[in-house]
Amino acid sequence: MAEAPKAKRAGTATKAPAKAAPAAAPDKASPEAASFPAKTLDKLRRLLEEERETYVRQAHDLAAEAEALAAEREPGDTQFDEESGEGDTLNVERERDLALSASATQAVEDIDAAIHRMDTGGYGVCERCGKKIAVARLEALPFAALCIECKSREERRR
Protein backbone atom coordinates (compact mmCIF):
# COMPACT_ATOMS: atom_id res chain seq x y z
CA MET A 1 0.00 0.00 0.00
CA ALA A 2 1.69 3.15 -1.15
CA GLU A 3 1.32 6.28 0.86
CA ALA A 4 1.26 9.48 -1.14
CA PRO A 5 2.96 12.58 0.21
CA LYS A 6 0.73 15.47 1.22
CA ALA A 7 0.61 18.18 -1.44
CA LYS A 8 -0.47 21.79 -1.39
CA ARG A 9 -4.22 22.20 -1.16
CA ALA A 10 -4.76 24.46 -4.16
CA GLY A 11 -7.63 24.10 -6.57
CA THR A 12 -11.16 22.94 -6.16
CA ALA A 13 -12.34 19.78 -4.52
CA THR A 14 -13.36 17.12 -7.00
CA LYS A 15 -15.14 13.96 -6.02
CA ALA A 16 -13.84 10.93 -7.86
CA PRO A 17 -16.37 8.23 -8.58
CA ALA A 18 -16.29 5.55 -5.94
CA LYS A 19 -14.47 2.49 -7.20
CA ALA A 20 -15.88 -0.95 -6.72
CA ALA A 21 -14.57 -2.37 -3.50
CA PRO A 22 -12.09 -5.21 -3.82
CA ALA A 23 -13.23 -8.70 -3.01
CA ALA A 24 -13.49 -9.34 0.68
CA ALA A 25 -10.44 -10.83 2.33
CA PRO A 26 -10.66 -14.37 3.62
CA ASP A 27 -13.05 -14.47 6.53
CA LYS A 28 -10.54 -13.27 9.10
CA ALA A 29 -12.92 -10.58 10.35
CA SER A 30 -13.63 -11.82 13.82
CA PRO A 31 -16.00 -10.39 16.40
CA GLU A 32 -13.13 -8.02 17.20
CA ALA A 33 -14.00 -6.09 14.05
CA ALA A 34 -17.11 -4.63 15.66
CA SER A 35 -15.46 -4.00 19.02
CA PHE A 36 -14.62 -0.34 18.32
CA PRO A 37 -16.91 2.07 20.14
CA ALA A 38 -19.31 3.91 17.83
CA LYS A 39 -17.65 7.23 18.70
CA THR A 40 -14.25 5.88 17.60
CA LEU A 41 -15.68 4.51 14.35
CA ASP A 42 -17.36 7.86 13.63
CA LYS A 43 -14.08 9.67 14.21
CA LEU A 44 -12.18 7.25 11.96
CA ARG A 45 -14.84 7.54 9.23
CA ARG A 46 -14.49 11.34 9.32
CA LEU A 47 -10.71 10.96 9.04
CA LEU A 48 -11.16 8.64 6.05
CA GLU A 49 -13.52 11.06 4.33
CA GLU A 50 -11.17 14.01 4.93
CA GLU A 51 -8.18 12.04 3.65
CA ARG A 52 -10.16 10.94 0.61
CA GLU A 53 -11.10 14.51 -0.26
CA THR A 54 -7.48 15.63 0.12
CA TYR A 55 -6.13 12.83 -2.08
CA VAL A 56 -8.82 13.30 -4.76
CA ARG A 57 -7.96 17.00 -4.95
CA GLN A 58 -4.24 16.23 -4.98
CA ALA A 59 -4.58 13.65 -7.78
CA HIS A 60 -6.69 16.03 -9.86
CA ASP A 61 -4.39 19.03 -9.35
CA LEU A 62 -1.23 17.06 -10.14
CA ALA A 63 -2.74 15.50 -13.27
CA ALA A 64 -3.89 18.95 -14.44
CA GLU A 65 -0.43 20.38 -13.78
CA ALA A 66 1.17 17.56 -15.78
CA GLU A 67 -1.18 18.22 -18.69
CA ALA A 68 -0.44 21.94 -18.54
CA LEU A 69 3.28 21.19 -18.75
CA ALA A 70 2.67 19.00 -21.79
CA ALA A 71 0.55 21.68 -23.45
CA GLU A 72 3.27 24.33 -23.00
CA ARG A 73 5.57 22.75 -25.55
CA GLU A 74 5.70 21.27 -28.97
CA PRO A 75 6.24 17.53 -29.45
CA GLY A 76 9.94 16.77 -29.76
CA ASP A 77 10.89 20.13 -28.26
CA THR A 78 13.81 19.49 -25.91
CA GLN A 79 15.32 22.05 -23.62
CA PHE A 80 19.12 22.08 -23.32
CA ASP A 81 20.61 24.76 -21.13
CA GLU A 82 23.22 25.18 -18.41
CA GLU A 83 20.89 24.06 -15.62
CA SER A 84 19.40 21.00 -17.26
CA GLY A 85 22.56 19.65 -18.89
CA GLU A 86 21.00 16.25 -19.57
CA GLY A 87 17.97 17.68 -21.25
CA ASP A 88 14.34 18.19 -20.62
CA THR A 89 13.37 19.43 -17.16
CA LEU A 90 9.73 19.90 -18.16
CA ASN A 91 9.42 16.19 -18.95
CA VAL A 92 10.97 15.34 -15.58
CA GLU A 93 8.51 17.63 -13.79
CA ARG A 94 5.60 16.18 -15.78
CA GLU A 95 6.61 12.60 -14.99
CA ARG A 96 6.97 13.49 -11.30
CA ASP A 97 3.50 15.04 -11.27
CA LEU A 98 2.01 12.00 -13.01
CA ALA A 99 3.70 9.63 -10.53
CA LEU A 100 2.45 11.65 -7.55
CA SER A 101 -1.04 11.78 -9.07
CA ALA A 102 -1.01 7.98 -9.48
CA SER A 103 0.11 7.60 -5.87
CA ALA A 104 -2.73 9.85 -4.67
CA THR A 105 -5.20 7.88 -6.80
CA GLN A 106 -3.96 4.65 -5.18
CA ALA A 107 -4.51 6.23 -1.75
CA VAL A 108 -8.12 7.05 -2.76
CA GLU A 109 -8.63 3.40 -3.75
CA ASP A 110 -7.16 2.27 -0.40
CA ILE A 111 -9.50 4.66 1.43
CA ASP A 112 -12.51 3.39 -0.53
CA ALA A 113 -11.53 -0.17 0.44
CA ALA A 114 -11.27 0.89 4.11
CA ILE A 115 -14.73 2.50 3.98
CA HIS A 116 -16.07 -0.72 2.46
CA ARG A 117 -14.45 -2.74 5.28
CA MET A 118 -16.01 -0.35 7.77
CA ASP A 119 -19.45 -0.85 6.21
CA THR A 120 -19.10 -4.65 6.17
CA GLY A 121 -17.61 -5.08 9.65
CA GLY A 122 -14.04 -5.90 8.67
CA TYR A 123 -12.49 -2.52 9.46
CA GLY A 124 -9.68 -2.50 11.97
CA VAL A 125 -8.74 -6.13 11.41
CA CYS A 126 -5.40 -6.96 9.79
CA GLU A 127 -5.93 -8.46 6.35
CA ARG A 128 -2.93 -10.73 6.81
CA CYS A 129 -3.09 -12.13 10.34
CA GLY A 130 -6.66 -11.28 11.40
CA LYS A 131 -5.62 -9.47 14.58
CA LYS A 132 -7.11 -6.16 15.62
CA ILE A 133 -5.22 -3.09 14.32
CA ALA A 134 -4.37 -0.62 17.10
CA VAL A 135 -6.57 2.48 17.22
CA ALA A 136 -3.43 4.65 17.35
CA ARG A 137 -2.33 3.20 13.99
CA LEU A 138 -5.77 3.79 12.48
CA GLU A 139 -5.78 7.37 13.76
CA ALA A 140 -2.40 7.94 12.11
CA LEU A 141 -3.29 6.07 8.90
CA PRO A 142 -7.06 5.51 8.83
CA PHE A 143 -6.91 3.30 5.73
CA ALA A 144 -4.30 0.92 7.15
CA ALA A 145 -5.12 -2.66 6.17
CA LEU A 146 -2.24 -4.30 8.05
CA CYS A 147 -1.25 -4.25 11.70
CA ILE A 148 2.16 -2.86 12.62
CA GLU A 149 3.73 -6.32 12.88
CA CYS A 150 2.58 -7.46 9.42
CA LYS A 151 3.46 -4.13 7.81
CA SER A 152 6.93 -4.24 9.40
CA ARG A 153 7.45 -7.78 8.08
CA GLU A 154 6.37 -6.65 4.62
CA GLU A 155 8.78 -3.70 4.68
CA ARG A 156 11.70 -5.90 5.78
CA ARG A 157 11.14 -8.19 2.77
CA ARG A 158 11.68 -5.32 0.35
- Contact between residue 90 and residue 139 where contact means Cβ atoms under 8 Å apart: no
Backbone angles phi, psi at 30, to 5 degrees: -95, 180
CB-count exposure of residue 81 (10 Å: 0-12, 13-18, 19+):
exposed
pTM: 0.68
Backbone angles phi, psi at 75, to 5 degrees: -60, 135
Give residue-wise pLDDT tens across range 116-149. Answer: 999 998 999 999 999 999 999 999 999 999 999 9
Give residue-wise pLDDT tens across range 53-81. Answer: 999 999 999 999 988 887 876 655 555 55
Could you give all domains of the chain from N- to C-terminal order, each with its CATH number?
31-157 (1.20.120.910)
